[in-house]
């Protein structure tokens, strides 16, 4: 009877394609929007995760997220170094400054200042130039998408000179770095250069990056730093989590994406549910005939569930395929690079599609269960 169920389903090709389209569109909308949402929110803390050699971030206790860190006195660095369990601690700067390109074009940039000696927090992957060139005077390294943003359409050329806060800067390398939340270029330089580029203020350093001694637990050492210095000390994952939570709770992003995702679900329920229900209604007399012939309710329910599952599986597969294709294509676009289809999004949307299919079939099942087989004797 499974064969019969599928034959009935695919008999009217227009209706069958309409059903599959509804689920496909819904799947595409939900999985694409969920992935973009997760990707964009993750971008708000992506630069935290890019720093792979430090397990603890220390900052002003009022810091709520990565982009809002007031400076702390340089003496705090020594205090952190003195906390038991800390293997090493270095200064780190992150701020937003104004760059002026060759033609006098002003552009905002994100500047990250690395410890002169250790270069802790330096990009992990270079596309052009060498990390050691960062030790040259006025040297800066830029991320690839930042280069394309500042010099669109131009091939990578090292040695470019431009100004940061009216001071000379020389491009010595292009690196691979995670895209920030605001799509601004990310520039890396030494901390001593930051002192020239950053706006003059009493303190400049806004983060201390630290790692723990062998055998120490990062969370415990962070707690110890907090107790002994009064500063906020978080593990890398803890700081990333705080930043993400801030973005989720203090911006309209979740609402905006939530509405689109909900629309995807509603479209799925409305289109797939309604079409499937209409499909069942149109086949009622056939279901009635099958009942009269001796097909029991359990078997009819299994037939309907099989039909709904087939539509759901096909629509889900096509929709996920479309989303994967979308991200494959958009990854070649600089400002969209780094966004991808998360398996968690795929699994979640799979659950939503299952719910859509179940809702769609429930109405149909109810209709077939209450169907009097005697309906077959009523001429239409």
Cβ atoms < 10 Å from Cβ of 95: 18
Q: Residue 348 Cβ, how far from another protein at the closest point, in Å?
A: 35
Q: Does 219 bind another protein (CB under 8 A)?
A: no
Q: Does 15 bind another protein (CB under 8 A)?
A: no
User: Closer to another protein at the Cβ: 8 or 171?
Assistant: 8
User: Closer to another protein at the Cβ: 286 or 340?
Assistant: 286
Q: Does 290 bind another protein (CB under 8 A)?
A: yes
Distance CA 106, CA 171 (A): 16
Q: Residue 314 Cβ, how far from another protein at the closest point, in Å?
A: 17
Among 75, 294, 332, 343, binds another protein (CB under 8 A): 294
Distance CA 185, CA 174 (A): 11
Q: Does 10 bind another protein (CB under 8 A)?
A: yes
Binders of another protein in range 17-36 (CB under 8 A): none
Q: Does 3 bind another protein (CB under 8 A)?
A: yes
φ and ψ at residue 174, rounded to 5 degrees:
-125, 130
Please give the C-alpha separations between residue 239 and each of 34, 79, 139, 207, 335, in angstroms, as whole numbers: 23, 20, 29, 12, 25
Among 7, 62, 202, 332, binds another protein (CB under 8 A): 7
Q: Does 372 bind another protein (CB under 8 A)?
A: yes
Strands 86-100 and 207-212: antiparallel
Question: b/e per residue, 114-140, with b = 16+ CB within 10 A?
Answer: bbbeebbbbbeeeebbebebbeeebbb
In degrees, rounded to 5, the angle at the alpha carbon of residue 140 between the alpha carbons of residues 172 and 134 is: 70
Among 14, 103, 293, 370, binds another protein (CB under 8 A): 293
Q: Residue 283 Cβ, how far from another protein at the closest point, in Å?
A: 8
Listed residue (104, 123, 76) closest to 231, CA to CA: 76
Please give the C-alpha separations between residue 80 and each of 86, 115, 204, 223, in angstroms, as whole numbers: 7, 15, 17, 12
Cβ atoms < 10 Å from Cβ of 275: 21
Q: Does 1 bind another protein (CB under 8 A)?
A: yes
User: Closer to another protein at the Cβ: 15 or 100?
Assistant: 15
Listed residue (82, 188, 80, 81) closest to 129, CA to CA: 188
Only segment of 8-16, 153-161, 305-313, 351-359 that touches another protein (CB under 8 A): 8-16
Only segment of 10-18, 123-131, 208-216, 306-314 that touches another protein (CB under 8 A): 10-18
Q: Does 337 bind another protein (CB under 8 A)?
A: no
In the chain, the N- to C-terminal Cα span, in Å, equals 26
User: Closer to another protein at the Cβ: 226 or 285?
Assistant: 285
Listed residue (371, 361, 348) closest to 273, CA to CA: 361
Residues 6 or more apart in contact with residue 121 via CB below 8 angstroms? 50, 51, 53, 54, 92, 112, 114, 115, 188, 209
Q: Residue 296 Cβ, how far from another protein at the closest point, in Å?
A: 5
Pick left, alpha or beta for residue 51 (phi over 0 → left; psi -120 to 50 → alpha; otherwise beta): beta
Q: Residue 16 Cβ, how far from another protein at the closest point, in Å?
A: 10
User: Closer to another protein at the Cβ: 265 or 279?
Assistant: 279
Q: Residue 9 Cβ, how far from another protein at the closest point, in Å?
A: 8
Contact 272, 356 (CB under 8 A): yes
Binders of another protein in range 171-190 (CB under 8 A): none
User: Which residues are 92's β-sheet partners?
Assistant: 207
Q: Does 378 bind another protein (CB under 8 A)?
A: yes
Q: Does 127 bind another protein (CB under 8 A)?
A: no
Binders of another protein in range 295-314 (CB under 8 A): 295-296
Instruction: Give the three-class secondary structure for 173.
Output: strand
What character string, x for contact with another protein (CB under 8 A) and - otherwise, covers 250-289?
Answer: -----------------------------------xx-xx
Only segment of 189-197, 208-216, 225-233, 366-374 that touches another protein (CB under 8 A): 366-374
User: Closer to another protein at the Cβ: 7 or 62?
Assistant: 7
Q: Does 370 bind another protein (CB under 8 A)?
A: no
Interface positions with another protein (CB under 8 A): 1, 3-4, 7-8, 10-12, 285-286, 288-296, 372-374, 376-380
């Amino acid at each position: 009877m499974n064969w019969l169920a599928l034959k009935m389903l695919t008999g009217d090709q227009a209706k069958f394609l309409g059903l599959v389209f509804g689920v496909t569109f819904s799947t595409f909308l939900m999985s694409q929007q969920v992935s973009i949402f997760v990707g964009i929110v993750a971008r708000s803390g992506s630069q935290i995760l890019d720093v792979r050699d430090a397990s603890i971030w220390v900052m002003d206790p009022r810091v709520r997220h990565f982009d809002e860190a007031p400076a702390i006195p340089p003496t705090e660095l020594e205090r952190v170094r003195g906390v038991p369990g800390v293997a090493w601690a270095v200064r780190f700067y992150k701020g937003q400054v104004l760059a002026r390109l060759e033609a006098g074009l002003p552009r905002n940039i994100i500047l990250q200042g690395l410890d002169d000696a250790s270069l802790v927090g330096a990009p992990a992957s270079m596309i052009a130039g060498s990390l050691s060139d960062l030790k040259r005077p006025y040297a800066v390294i830029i991320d690839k998408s930042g280069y394309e943003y500042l010099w669109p359409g131009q091939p990578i050329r090292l040695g470019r000179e431009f100004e940061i806060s009216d001071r000379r800067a020389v491009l010595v390398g292009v690196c691979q770095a995670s895209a920030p939340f605001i799509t601004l270029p990310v520039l890396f330089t030494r901390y001593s250069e930051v002192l020239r580029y950053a706006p003059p203020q009493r303190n400049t350093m806004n983060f201390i990056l630290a790692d723990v001694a062998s055998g120490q637990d990062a969370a415990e050492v962070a707690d110890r730093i907090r107790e002994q210095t009064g500063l906020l000390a978080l593990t890398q994952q803890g700081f990333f989590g705080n930043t993400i939570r801030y973005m989720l709770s203090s911006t309209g992003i979740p609402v905006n994406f939530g509405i689109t995702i909900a629309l995807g679900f509603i479209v799925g329920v409305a289109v797939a549910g309604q079409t499937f229900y209409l499909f069942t209604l149109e086949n009622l007399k056939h279901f009635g005939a099958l009942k009269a012939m001796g097909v029991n309710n359990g078997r009819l329910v299994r037939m309907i569930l099989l039909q709904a599952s087939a539509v759901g599986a096909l629509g889900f597969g096509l929709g996920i395929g479309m989303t994967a294709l979308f991200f494959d294509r958009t990854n070649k676009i600089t400002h969209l690079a780094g966004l991808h289809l998360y398996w968690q999004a795929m699994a979640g949307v799979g659950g939503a599609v299952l719910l859509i299919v179940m809702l769609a079939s429930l109405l149909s099942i109810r209709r077939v269960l209450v169907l009097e087989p005697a309906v077959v004797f009523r001429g239409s």
